Amino acid sequence: MAATQVLKSEWTKIRSVSSTVWTLGLALVVTVGLGLLISILAKNDYDSLNAQDRRVFDPTFTSFAGTSLGQLAMIVFGVLVVSNEYSTGMIRTSLSAVPQRATFMASKVAVATLLALVVGLVTSFISFFLGQAMLGEHKALISDPGVLRAVIGGGLYMTLIAMFSMGVAMMLRSPMLSLGILMPFFFLISSILGNVSATKKIGRFLPDQAGSKIMQVKTPLDDDSPYGPWGGLAIMVLWVVVALIGGYALLKKRDA
């Protein structure tokens, strides 16, 4: 069957459940809102910074501060898109209509990814411009070197987080289990591993730690990571590819 038919059907599926609007809407509102708040705080705080801190102050990255929380809504989106097929039993109806597992999964991931990308980019640009407006004289311009890359990167980061969640949810199938692992991991564990000096060397290769590098324009003082912004994103892409391959292998092998 034509892949366009499956794509069309997946689009109907994704737009006809309210969780899509809720999760993506929340991702946008939380990311933008928190970025706005942190930007205001950063502006008021700027005068108390010492010279060194002022030199590495990164207005672009500051306006993306909401991502750490907003990404959780993206995770929920990615998990639900896949696992609601399993939790409702719809997967059996879907797979008896699309017996080709590869077509089914590729279409599902493609549609959800495209949607996440659009929402991610919109979120990223709004976060940037609103955040910069709050930062006043300390703001960065979109035309500054590396800034456009960071803003687009913010959208890509959100998209990749959603894709990673889809892969994990495809492996675990249960929405509770998937969320129970992904949420604390990205909210707490990853940032602890990435900031504690003992685990830092490993922690910075975790998907979110590596991927978020793309949103930085100025390198923080204590940063000695062996990869640049695109290198970091590539590491994250690698994680996503592994998760999706794992999900596909299990989908193909397992009974539905």
Partner 1 sequence: MIEAVGLTKRYGAKTAVYNLSFQVRPGTVTGFLGPNGSGKSTTMRMILGLDQPTTGQVTIGGYPYRKLPNAPRQVGALLDAKAVHGGRHARNHLLCLAQLSGIPARRVDEVLGVVGLQEVAKKRSKGFSLGMGQRLGIAAALLGDPQVLLFDEPVNGLDPEGILWVRNLMKSLAAEGRTVFVSSHLMSEMALTAEHLIVIGRGQLLADMSVKDFISHNSADFARVRTPEGDVQQREKLSAALSEAGGQVMPEQDGALRVTGLPLPRISDLAHDADVRVWELSPHQASLEEAYMRMTQGAVDYRSTVDQRAGLQQQLPPGAMPQQQMPVPGQGQPGWYAPPPPQQGGQPFAMPQGAPQGAPGAPGAPQGPPPGTPNPYAAAPPQAPASAPAPDMTKRDSEDPR
95 counts as binding partner 1 under rule CB under 8 A? yes
Q: Give yes or no for a contact between 30 and 69, defined as CB atoms under 8 angstroms apart.
A: yes
Secondary structure (3-state) at 161: helix
136 counts as binding partner 1 under rule CB under 8 A? no
58 counts as binding partner 1 under rule CB under 8 A? no
25 counts as binding partner 1 under rule CB under 8 A? no
Closer by beta carbon to partner 1, 97 or else 241: 97
* One residue of 19, 44, 174, 195 binding partner 1 per CB under 8 A: 19
Residue range at the interface with partner 1 (CB under 8 A); choices 7-15, 30-38, 120-128, 220-228: 7-15
Closer by beta carbon to partner 1, 5 or else 199: 5
6 counts as binding partner 1 under rule CB under 8 A? yes
Cα(94)–Cα(97) distance, integer angstroms? 5
Q: Angle between the 229-253 and 101-135 helix axes, to the nearest 10 degrees?
A: 150
97 counts as binding partner 1 under rule CB under 8 A? yes
10 counts as binding partner 1 under rule CB under 8 A? yes
191 counts as binding partner 1 under rule CB under 8 A? no
98 counts as binding partner 1 under rule CB under 8 A? yes
Secondary structure (3-state) at 156: helix
Residue range at the interface with partner 1 (CB under 8 A); choices 17-25, 32-40, 71-79, 113-121: 17-25
Q: Give yes or no for a contact between 96 and 168, defined as CB atoms under 8 angstroms apart.
A: no
Residue range at the interface with partner 1 (CB under 8 A); choices 39-47, 67-75, 94-102, 120-128: 94-102
Secondary structure (3-state) at 2: coil
Q: Which residue has the tokens 């459940």?
A: 17
Cα(205)–Cα(225) distance, integer angstroms? 9
Closer by beta carbon to partner 1, 17 or else 176: 17
174 counts as binding partner 1 under rule CB under 8 A? no
Angle at 240 between CA 222 and CA 17, to 5 degrees: 115
Cα(13)–Cα(7) distance, integer angstroms? 10
Query: In 10 A of CB 252, how many CB atoms?
Result: 11
- Interface residue list for partner 1 (CB under 8 A): 1-2, 5-6, 8-10, 12-13, 16-19, 84-85, 88-93, 95-100, 255-256
